[in-house]
Amino acid sequence: MKKLENKNQMVINVSQEELLYILRTLGAPAIPGIDPQIFLDITEKEIAVAVGVAGRALIARGFINLNDKGEQIVTEAPLALIGTCALPRFSVLAEETTADTAQGIFWHGTNSLIIEHNIPMRGIHKFRALSTEVDLTDQILNSIQLPTKKPLSLPEGKIKKDHFEKGKSLIRNEGDKKQAIIEFITGGLKEKAATQLADIIDSAISTVTMGFLRHDRENNQGEVTGGIVVTAPKGSILVIPTTNGTAGVLAIQPLDPGSWKQWVAENIQNIQELEE
């Protein structure tokens, strides 16, 4: 794909139906981070009607042209922006949930282009091109809620994933913090750490789930890392899989703006170490 002039100024918005139409025209199954079954709740006939309308709208907008043979050709801007998201070399997926909102923002890149993709309103997808010279770490930290408190006194610890998930569910779905603490202790935490973890989850004002993906499409493989940041009035914690090969065990550690930025930067560096 050739490099585009003023690519960092390029922005397009498309409806969900238009996005599906372009993906089908490109022969791409989906975009990482977006459920490929976005039309699962409607019939194939309804999909055909919606996509047909979207196709005519894309032609009118100049996003699709017809060649001399009547074949549909995706034009340069949507090809670069949506095509990069559909077939990236690396991706960063971030989903932030608060008491009132849930939003996702995604970054997909190749050696020549990085695209920021979000959904500003239901059914509308926004794609914005960034220069590969941009500091992606700063872009990410500016786009999602940053922990602003000093590090908690919470000691680092490890807990079995199933016990963490069960304890979190007890707090959020049943309001049973006492039983959640028992679950955390059973999973491997000491009582003080288990109590502090329960307090943080119970008073959380933001939960950010991060995924860092490095795609190897030649071999149909990929590498995935990531974690969850839970922010409460007293501070933030990072929950990540352990790196010592112990399956099903999570590491929990206190987080401040400095360590948060360092963790994001290290993961970005890993997925951007691409072969030319």
Separation CA 100–CA 205 (nearest Å) = 10
Q: Please give the pLDDT value at position 134.
A: 85
Contacts 24+ apart (CB under 8 A), 226-231: 226/93, 226/267, 227/263, 229/147, 229/255, 229/260, 230/200, 230/201, 230/204, 230/206, 231/145, 231/147, 231/204, 231/205, 231/206, 231/207
Q: What is the pLDDT of residues 79-113, one digit of tens each?
A: 899 999 998 999 999 998 887 888 889 999 988 89
* C-beta atoms surrounding 54 within 10 Å: 21
How large a percentage of the chain has pLDDT more than 70? 86
Query: Mean per-residue pLDDT for 206-231?
Result: 84
Please tell me the distance from the alpha carbon of residue 9 to that of residue 164, in angstroms, as a whole number. Answer: 43
CB 192 within 8 A of CB 222: no
With contact defined as beta carbons under 8 Å apart, do 203 and 188 qualify?
no
**Whole-number pLDDT of residue 4:** 47
Residue 41 per-residue DSSP state: T
Q: What would the pLDDT profile of 141-180 be if each residue is shown by its tens digit? A: 888 866 666 767 777 899 999 999 999 999 999 999 999 9
Residue 274 has pLDDT above 70, yes or no: no
> Does residue 228 contact residue 184 with C-beta atoms inside 8 Å?
no
Tell me the pTM: 0.85
Alpha-carbon distance of 215 to 223, in angstroms, equals 7
CA torsion, ordered 186, 189, 191, 193, to nearest 10 deg: -150
Least confident of 134-143, 168-177, 200-209, 215-224: 215-224
| 72-74/64-66 β-pairing | antiparallel
Q: What pLDDT was estimated at residue 2?
A: 38
